[in-house]
Amino acid sequence: MKIAVVVRQVPDLIEPLEITASGDGLDWDRASFLVNESDDHALEQAILLKESVGGTVAVVAMDFGDVDNTLYTAAAKGADRIVKIPLDGESPPGPQAAAAMLAQSIQGLQADLVLVGCQAHDELEGSLTPRLALALGLPYVGVIRGVQPGDVPGSVRVFKEFPGAVMEQMSVRLPALLGILAAAQPPRYVPVSRIRATMKSTRFEERKAAAPAAEPLVKVRRLYPTPTTGRAEMLDGSEEDVAKRLAAILAEKGILK
Amino acid sequence: MSLQDILVLAETHLGALSDITLELLGAARQLAATTGGKVVVLLLGPDGARHAPALQAADRIVVIDESQLAAYSPEPYLAVLASVVQAEGPRAVLLGSTSIGLDVGPALGARLGVPVVGGCQQIAAEDGALRVTASLCAGKLLADVEVSKAPAILMILSGSFRPSGENRQPAVESRGSPVPLGPGAVTFERMVQPEAGDVDITKESVLVCVGRGIQQQDNLGLAEDLAKALGGQLCASRPIVDQGWLPTTRQVGKSGMTVKPKLYLALGVSGAPEHQEGMKGAELIVAVNMDAKAPIFDIAHFGVQMDLLDVVPALIEAVKAKKRGG
């Protein structure tokens, strides 16, 4: 099975998020980045499928947000090809342009299955993934927790997540694009030594892609930190003081019996 | 339908109308008051008309009564929705930021070449445009945006709008699919219920929830000890379940369980909107988090800004001492 995976970099939410002076966008120069969590799961799911039924895994990424480390890590995990799309600007393209650019690069890979994280926390205009499926002319289903080889050749079985830990089991005829929420297993850990070794042996394939000129459909007027309502009564002091105060509150509320 | 009307995509889950549908209807009613249009609810699936009594705040209810829409499948859902939207020509289409909405919302926008906004918390019409406030970056940021092109596809965050109490006695129009529904590439096989045997966290009165702040799987034992001391059970936010540290039956939030315990003790949980959706109804919420700006503190009753690994051992001892009468 030939599998293509898209990985994206997103701002690390542990670090402060800085807004541009114009107040309508993230200051990408001052952001720290890490791999989008659901894309990391998409990569893991691809490698699990490769280990199960054989084939190859190609990773496609736009050259944004210190992506090289993520790509070397992907190679160390078992990706066979790494395709990097150079970008002209210093900001990531909008969703329409991103879908078009990624589609141009993925089309040449002739993948049976394309896996992409079903969401990224910095997406304002909804998920990129269904747009990419449309640009590739592939059937799509997202919010998938686990992919298995299908009973019928040329198909996979997927589990779409719904509230209450209920899953809808579906059969998907390939080629198709799946929006992954979580892989069947957690993303594997690779030691730094293996990543370093991979850096020496891995070559990125650069593929230029053109973004179609288009007016943005959504105009951001203002981007700002969510105001805190400060509802919680904060408990201060040493760990012991706080613990005793909390235990007293729980006792007063009749929770400790 | 006029260009000022609002179309709502209703959702059902396991045969029942999903709560998000009533919130969407509330949002649509509010928006229609500023556009001057009507609210139309679209129900996909056989016998959808049976949900009409719960949708009295609508002006019209359109039911696409097709057996092929009985279970969710993205291709027929999108095909029917796109066809109805093109025929009706609304100002906005409201969907939930849900498992179904995440599939069809952006796809509908891309197919029609119209704007899509996810995570919508506030919407209003002003000077011919729609003004939307949307949440992103796990609730840490808000964006005020403007969309002019119609229809705008707006994906509403659960908990942002109240259901409307209006009763407009809407007409129910039941019809067949406006487009042929052939076999697609994605086919329904079966619904898979969570494995029996695990604890039902929706029935627990005390829950200790762990989030990313727990750092390592080895630290779960500490949270479990606290849950035991409190006579409760352990649950988790999505990243912990995705790591395989706890089963999906222990997941709280949009895609997990909705819980309303007497005590919800959140350890290292940031409190993204998707998590809040599953626990904001708890009677008493206590949050422990290192980040003073964590959204969980906005809905918690009591907060502790400390490393949970420092405070939990002390809390276990304090709870035990209190139970002994100390």
More confident residue, A14 or B221: B221
Instruction: Report how far Cα A119 is from the mean position of its chain's Cα atoms.
Output: 6
Q: Does one domain contain both B169 and B33?
A: yes
Check pLDDT > 80 for residue B198.
Answer: no
β-bridge pairing B39-44 and B6-9:
parallel
Q: Does one domain contain both B22 and B167?
A: yes
Q: Does one domain contain both B20 and B81?
A: yes
With a CB cutoff of 8 Å and minimum separation 6, the contacts of B326 are none
Residues B28-53 have pLDDT tens digits of: 999 999 999 999 999 999 989 999 99
Q: Does one domain contain both B226 and B291?
A: yes
Q: Does one domain contain both B153 and B232?
A: no
Kindly state the DSSP code that residue A226 receives in the 8-state scheme.
Answer: P
For residue B326, what pLDDT is reported?
Answer: 67
Q: How far is CA B23 from CA A71, A77, A199, B27, B296, in A?
A: 41, 43, 50, 6, 22
Domain contains B10: yes
Contacts of B304 in chain A (CB under 8 A): 234-235, 242, 246
The band of A228, judged by pLDDT with boundaries at 50, 70 and 90, is confident
For residue A91, what pLDDT is reported?
Answer: 83
Residues B118-169 have pLDDT tens digits of: 999 999 999 889 999 999 999 999 999 999 999 999 999 998 999 999 999 9
For residue B55, what pLDDT is reported?
Answer: 97
Q: Does one domain contain both B115 and B223?
A: no
For residue B256, what pLDDT is reported?
Answer: 87
Domain contains B196: no
Decide if A167 contacts A130 (C-beta within 8 A).
Answer: no
Q: What whole-number distance in Å separates Cα of residue B48 and Cα of residue B170?
A: 14
Q: What whole-number distance in Å separates Cα of residue B267 and Cα of residue B252?
A: 13
For residue A131, what pLDDT is reported?
Answer: 95
Radius of gyration of chain A (CA): 22
Asked which of A169-178, B250-259, B300-309 is least confident by mean pLDDT, the reply is: B250-259
By the CB < 8 Å criterion, does A169 face chain B?
A: yes
Q: Which two tokens stand for residue A44?
A: 């893991």
**B245: containing domain:** 201-323
Quickly tell me which residue has 């289409």 as its tokens: B93
For residue A88, what pLDDT is reported?
Answer: 84
By the CB < 8 Å criterion, does A89 face chain B?
A: no
Q: pTM, whole model, 2 decimals?
A: 0.92
Please state the domain extents for chain A: 2-206
CATH number of the domain that residue B225 is part of: 3.40.50.1220
Kindly state the DSSP code that residue B197 receives in the 8-state scheme.
Answer: T
For residue A99, what pLDDT is reported?
Answer: 96
For residue B82, what pLDDT is reported?
Answer: 98
Question: What domain count does chain B have?
Answer: 2
Phi, psi of B104 (to 5 degrees): -90, -25
ipTM: 0.93
Q: Which of A161, A217, A253 sits opposite B114 (nearest CB)?
A: A217
Q: What whole-number distance in Å separates Cα of residue B102 and Cα of residue B105?
A: 6
In the stretch 123-162 of chain A, residues with CB closer than 8 A to chain B read 123-131, 133-135, 139-143, 145, 157, 159-162
For residue A14, what pLDDT is reported?
Answer: 86
Decide if B309 contacts B293 (C-beta within 8 A).
Answer: no
Q: Which of B257, B293, B321 sits opposite A164 (nearest CB)?
A: B257
Q: Does one domain contain both B38 and B131?
A: yes
For residue B2, what pLDDT is reported?
Answer: 64
Query: What three-state secondary structure class fits A114?
Result: strand
Q: Does one domain contain both B212 and B145?
A: no
Domain contains B153: yes
Q: What is the mean pLDDT of chain B?
A: 94
* Mean pLDDT, residues B298-319 taken together: 96
Q: Does one domain contain both B273 and B158?
A: no
The nearest alpha carbon in chain A to B300 belongs to A232
Q: What whole-number distance in Å separates Cα of residue B300 and Cα of residue B181?
A: 47
Check pLDDT > 60 for residue B1.
Answer: no
By the CB < 8 Å criterion, does A120 face chain B?
A: no
CATH number of the domain that residue B154 is part of: 3.40.50.620
Q: Does one domain contain both B238 and B168?
A: no
* Mean pLDDT, residues A69-78 taken together: 98
The band of B208, judged by pLDDT with boundaries at 50, 70 and 90, is very high
Contact A232 B300 (CB under 8 A): yes
Find, among A24, A7, A16, the residue nearest to A65 by Cα.
A7
Q: What is the mean pLDDT of chain A?
A: 95
Check pLDDT > 80 for residue B196.
Answer: no
The band of A113, judged by pLDDT with boundaries at 50, 70 and 90, is very high
What percent of chain A has a predicted confidence (pLDDT) above 70?
100
Q: What whole-number distance in Å separates Cα of residue A244 and Cα of residue A203?
A: 58
Contact A140 B103 (CB under 8 A): yes
With a CB cutoff of 8 Å and minimum separation 6, the contacts of A79 are A5, A43, A46, A47, A57, A58, A59
Contacts of B11 in chain A (CB under 8 A): none
For residue B46, what pLDDT is reported?
Answer: 93
Q: Which two tokens stand for residue B270?
A: 């940031």
Phi, psi of B305 (to 5 degrees): -95, 85
Domain contains B190: no
Among residues B110, B141, B175, the one where a domain terminates is B175
Q: Does one domain contain both B247 and B122?
A: no
Decide if B253 contacts B137 (C-beta within 8 A).
Answer: no
Q: Which of B189, B206, B306 sits opposite A171 (nearest CB)?
A: B189
Query: Mutate which of B13, B75, B102, B312 to disrupt the A interface (most A C-beta within 10 Å)?
Result: B102
* Mean pLDDT, residues B220-224 taken together: 96
Q: What whole-number distance in Å separates Cα of residue A138 and Cα of residue A6?
A: 15
The band of B293, judged by pLDDT with boundaries at 50, 70 and 90, is confident
Q: Which two tokens stand for residue A240?
A: 């012991």
What percent of chain A has a predicted confidence (pLDDT) above 90?
89
Question: Domain A2-206 falls in which CATH fold?
Answer: Rossmann fold (3.40.50)
* Mean pLDDT, residues A196-215 taken together: 91
Q: Does one domain contain both B89 and B159?
A: yes
Decide if A124 contacts B136 (C-beta within 8 A).
Answer: yes
* Mean pLDDT, residues A172-187 taken together: 96
Check pLDDT > 90 for residue B197.
Answer: no
Find, among A183, A126, A131, the residue nearest to A159 by Cα.
A183
Domain contains B75: yes
